Chains A and B, each alone.
Chain A
């Protein structure tokens, strides 16, 4: 009686273990299926990738550059008004691109425009930026940039003080205030 019961239990355990195996195997395939769904598109794009030849790559970058330039033209990227380059507020000049490229990658163009100095003064400012702010040697660009700065952002020496300029005159309404 007792043994019979034991046999029955063993048979039950066997059935159960087969059932579990089936579940594990199906789970494995479900996980595999989800994995495939997740990775399908990257795998496909990798398999079907198009390798550009160097010539095609150059063409690709050229086209991108042309698109960027068109975009800039639309946005008045390099518009000049009354001798002032509108985007930066700096004086227009043949060497302005060099100045913009060198100076405004680190700081605002306003930082240039609000300073006035002689060529030596500007040279000292560049030296200071190199010594303390991590500016690299400007090489052949330096004299060109210095010429630009000394020409357009020189100290004003007028001899006597002028009346204040750019004042918007208006009639003060004395009944309003006080």
Chain B
């Protein structure tokens, strides 16, 4: 157990809605928001292979400190199939979102994991 002292680095993909299907020739546009209690979001990466490889998103500067920062990317897929698009933000202190919510946090407070279980 520990007390909540600050918001950890976190990102959310807000577009498109989960369940999107596209044709193999098209690129998938994604958009989202990232935030942190450190100075700013340094970078956001996306992965379509469950975290094996990561590619950078375009990250916009925030309007002011602690405001959400928008990110976006355009993703090409190698073949037909089931994909999960994961986003992973890194803040100015070098802290990166973890992949999963650790087991010591059964209630899920401050869940900043990349992956929805």
Contacts and interface: CB of A to CB of B under 8 A. Distances in A.
A170 B20 contact: yes
B21 A177 contact: no
Contact of A172 (B28, B31, B84, B116): B28
Interface residues of B, number: 17
A172 B20 CA distance: 5
Contacts of B16: 172, 177
A172 B82 contact: no
Interface in B1-30: 15-22, 26, 28-29
Interface of B is mostly: loop
Contacts, number: 33
Interface residues of A, number: 14
Nearest to B74: A178
Contacts of B116: 164
Interface string A156-171: 0000010110011111
Nearest first, the 3 closest Cβ-Cβ pairs linking A and B are A172-B20, A178-B29, A167-B19
14 contacts: A117-B106, A121-B106, A163-B82, A164-B84, A167-B19, A168-B19, A170-B19, A170-B20, A171-B20, A171-B22, A172-B16, A174-B26, A177-B16, A178-B29
Interface of A: 117, 121, 161, 163-164, 167-172, 174, 177-178
